[in-house]
Amino acid sequence: MAVARKIQIYDTTLRDGCQSEDVSLTTADKLQIAERLDDLGLDYIEGGWPGSNPRDAAFFPEVKRLKLRHAKISAFGATRRANIRAAADRNLQLVLEAGVPVACIVGKTWDLHVREALRISLANNLEILNDTIAYLKKHLDEVIFDAEHFFDGYAANPDFALACIRAVDEAGVDLICLCDTNGGRMPWEIEDAVKAAAAAVRAPLGIHCHNDSEVAVANTLAAVRAGAVQVQGTINGLGERCGNANLISIIGNLQLKLGYNCVPAAKLKTLQETAMLVYELANITPNRRQAYVGRSAFAHKAGLHVSGIQRNVQTYEHVDPARVGNDRRVLLSELSGRANILYKTREFGLEADLSKDQIAALLDELKRLEALGYTFDGADASFELLMLRTLGRVKDHFNFVSFRVFDDKWHEDQAPFSEAVVVLEGPDGRRTRSSAIGNGPVNALDSALRQALVPYYPALAGMQLADYKVRVLDNGAGTGARVRVLIESTDGRRRWGTVGLSSNVVEASWQALVDSVEFKLHKDNVKPQILAAVPANGDARRTTAKARRTAPAVNGSVAKL
C-alpha cells in the first residue's frame, strides 16, 4: 500500500491571523492556541514578528516553557534594508534573539513593489534577498522565504519573479513559499506559476494565499497538486482584509478528499474543537456555515434530505461528521416532513411511543407554529417539550401566577436598571413571590424566576443564559411588531435552546426562559425539595408553555399571558 504524501502545515494564526480587523489576542491566548495547534499535529506555528509589538516579543520566551511535542515555532521577519548589510539589520537581529529554530522571511518578488515601495533597482533587490537568507542560514536550523506577491509578479514580469526565488535558492533557503498576497489570482494561474517555479529552483515550495477572491482554499489545493509541499494559512481563515486560506478546510480537503497526510488521522476529530477555541479566544461568533466544523455543516432541514440520510447518510453528506469532530443535526421547520419527526423521536428515545396519528399531529402543530413565527432550528429543547407534552410524559414543575417588570432611570447620567417580580406556585402548592434587579428586563426576570425555584430545585443555581437573540418578524408593524426570542442555556455540562414568540419582547423572553428551566428539570429528573407545608392557594392561574403556544392568534400576534 502506497504511503500518503506528507504536506507540511504551517500555521500563521498568531501572526497573520491577528491582522484581522476584529481580532486581538493576548499573550496568554496565543500560548493556549499554540498548545492546541501542537496537539492537532501541525508542523509549524508562527509566533509573530519579534520587535514589531510587545505581545509578539513576549510570546517567544513564554512559548519555550510549553512542552510542545510536534510543532516547530517560527519567527517572522523581513529582508534587510537596502542600505545596510544583513548582519547590521536590527530587525534580523531580533529574529535571531527570539531563540527559535525557524525563521520565515518575507521579501519582494514583484517588480512593481521593488520600484514603487522600496524604490530600488531590480538588481539591488536580488542582492538583498541573497544576503538576507545567506546570513540567517549561518545561525538558524531552518529558513523559509515568503515570496511576497509572487503570483502578481509572475504575471507581470515572470523573468524577474523567477530570478528572485533563484536568488534565495542559491543562498541555501530551506523552502520557498509562494504568496498570493493580494488574493486576486485564480486556481489555474496558481497551478501554472507553481510549476514554473518548481522548474526554476531546487528548494521545495510552499503556498500562502489570501481570500480576497473567495478562492484561497481552492488556490492552495491547486498549488499542492502542482507540487507544493507546505501550506501556510490560519485557523478559520482569520487574516487581513478578507482573511487567509482556512487551514480547517484545507486539512479536511487534503486529507479526506485528496489522500494527503497533513495531521495524524486520530487528530482529525479535534478539528472542530480547535476551530471553536480560536473563535472563543478571538471573541468572534463562530461561522455556523463553515465547512466541516460549522454547526450547520451537517444540518438537515428539508424532509426529502432527512428521509434520504435515514436510509443512507451518503445521500446528503460528503463525509462522516464524526471524522472532523462534528455532529449530524436534523432541523425542524415548515419544510419538515414525517422523516424529520421520526428522526427526532429516535434522538429523544420516543420512537416506539408515538402512533402514526400522533406523528401526524406533531407535524401539523409544528407547521402551524412555524407559520405563526416560531422556529425550532435552534430550539430543540422547546420541541422536545412539545413532543413530550403531546404524550403526556412531562410534568410542569411549577405553576405560573404573575410577573411584573419595572424599568427605572433616575438621573440622566445614570444607567437604567430593571426590577422583576415573579409569583409562582411551587410543587407543594405554596405561592412564592421573588424579586430581582438586573441590567435589563430579561436578566431581571431570569434571576427572579430561578430565585423562586432554587429552594425547590437547587441544581438551577448552576444554570445560566449562554446566548440571547431577538428577531423582529413584522417589519412593517414598527414597535408593535411580533418578536421571536431564542435563548441558549447551559449548566456547564450541556447547552440547549428554547424559543418564545409574542408582540411583547418581555413575554416572548419569559416563554423561552420557562421552557429552558422546565427542560433542565425534566432532563435532570429531579425531585423537588418540599419546603414547610402550607395550604395550596387554589386560585393560582396555571399557564403552561404548551397552553401559550396553542393559544389562538390575536390581532396577528400570539395571545399574551
Predicted pLDDT of residue 166 = 98
Break the chain into its structural domains and give their ranges.
8-263
Q: Taking residues 524-538, what's their average pLDDT?
A: 61
Q: At what angle do helices 158-170 and 122-137 cross, to 10 degrees?
A: 30
pLDDT band at 552 (very low <50, low <70, confident <90, very high): very low
**33 versus 477: which is more confidently predicted?**
33
Rounded to whole angstroms, the Cα distance separating 326 from 348 reads: 19
- By CB atoms closer than 10 A (0-12, 13-18, 19+), residue 188 is exposed
Predicted pLDDT of residue 386 = 83
pLDDT tens, position by position, 468-510: 888 888 766 666 778 989 999 999 888 898 999 999 999 999 9
User: Is the pLDDT at 536 greater than 60, yes or no?
Assistant: no
pLDDT tens, position by position, 352-368: 666 778 777 777 777 78
Predicted pLDDT of residue 436 = 93
A 10 A CB-CB count for 127 gives 14
Query: What average pLDDT is seen over the chain?
Result: 87
Rounded to whole angstroms, the Cα distance separating 392 from 173 reads: 72
pLDDT band at 547 (very low <50, low <70, confident <90, very high): very low
* Least confident window among 156-160, 290-294, 329-333, 427-431: 329-333
Rounded to whole angstroms, the Cα distance separating 279 from 380 reads: 24
The contacts of residue 395 (CB under 8 Å, 6+ apart) are: none
User: Is the pLDDT at 2 greater than 70, yes or no?
Assistant: no
First to last CA, the chain: 69
Q: What is the DSSP letter of 114?
A: I
Rounded to whole angstroms, the Cα distance separating 286 from 260 reads: 27
Dihedral sign, Cα of residue 239, residue 241, residue 245, residue 247: positive
Is the distance from CB of 168 to CB of 204 less than 8 angstroms? Answer: no
Rounded to whole angstroms, the Cα distance separating 239 from 252 reads: 20
Rounded to whole angstroms, the Cα distance separating 410 from 52 reads: 48
Residue 300, strand partner residues: 330
Rounded to whole angstroms, the Cα distance separating 435 from 440 reads: 13
Closest-CA residue to 179 (of 159, 193, 200, 163): 193
Residue 108, strand partner residues: 148
Is the distance from CB of 96 to CB of 81 less than 8 angstroms? Answer: no
Number of helices (H), then strands (E), in the chain: 18, 18
User: Amino acid identity, residue 429?
Assistant: G
Distance of CA 24 to the CA centre of its chain: 16
pLDDT band at 556 (very low <50, low <70, confident <90, very high): very low
Rounded to whole angstroms, the Cα distance separating 403 from 405 reads: 7
User: Amino acid identity, residue 329?
Assistant: R
* Least confident window among 215-224, 323-332, 435-444: 323-332
Closest-CA residue to 98 (of 81, 76, 78, 131): 76
User: Amino acid identity, residue 504?
Assistant: N
Fold designation for 8-263: TIM Barrel (3.20.20)
pLDDT tens, position by position, 376-399: 767 888 888 888 887 777 778 999
pLDDT band at 421 (very low <50, low <70, confident <90, very high): very high
The 3-state secondary structure of 429-465, one letter per residue: CCEEEEEEEECCHHHHHHHHHHHHHCCCCHHHHHCEE
The contacts of residue 368 (CB under 8 Å, 6+ apart) are: none
Rounded to whole angstroms, the Cα distance separating 556 from 400 reads: 25
pLDDT tens, position by position, 54-89: 888 899 999 999 999 999 999 999 999 999 999 999
Rounded to whole angstroms, the Cα distance separating 49 from 37 reads: 19
Rounded to whole angstroms, the Cα distance separating 325 from 265 reads: 12
Place of cell 427572579: 448
Is the distance from CB of 546 to CB of 478 less than 8 angstroms? Answer: no
Is the distance from CB of 59 to CB of 49 less than 8 angstroms? Answer: no
A 10 A CB-CB count for 409 gives 10
User: Is the pLDDT at 292 greater than 90, yes or no?
Assistant: yes
Look up residue 529 and give its three cell numbers: 425539595
Predicted pLDDT of residue 328 = 73
Q: What percent of the chain has pLDDT over 90?
A: 62
Q: Taking residues 93-105, what's their average pLDDT?
A: 97
**519 versus 309: which is more confidently predicted?**
519
Q: What percent of the chain has pLDDT over 70?
A: 87
Largest Cα span, the chain:
96
Q: Are strands 102-108 and 142-148 parallel, antiparallel or unpaired?
A: parallel
Reported as half-sphere exposure (CB side, CA atoms, 13 A), residue 419 has a value of: 6
Look up residue 114 and give its three cell numbers: 521593488
* Least confident window among 133-137, 141-145, 457-461: 457-461
**429 versus 171: which is more confidently predicted?**
171
Burial of 15-35, coded b for 16+ CB within 10 Å and e otherwise, reads bbbbebeebebebebbbbbbb
pLDDT tens, position by position, 187-240: 999 999 999 999 999 999 999 999 999 999 999 999 999 999 999 999 999 999
- By CB atoms closer than 10 A (0-12, 13-18, 19+), residue 199 is exposed
pLDDT band at 545 (very low <50, low <70, confident <90, very high): very low
| CA-to-CA dists, residue 162 to 168, 189, 195, 199, angstroms | 10, 15, 11, 10
pLDDT tens, position by position, 109-138: 999 999 999 999 999 999 999 999 999 999
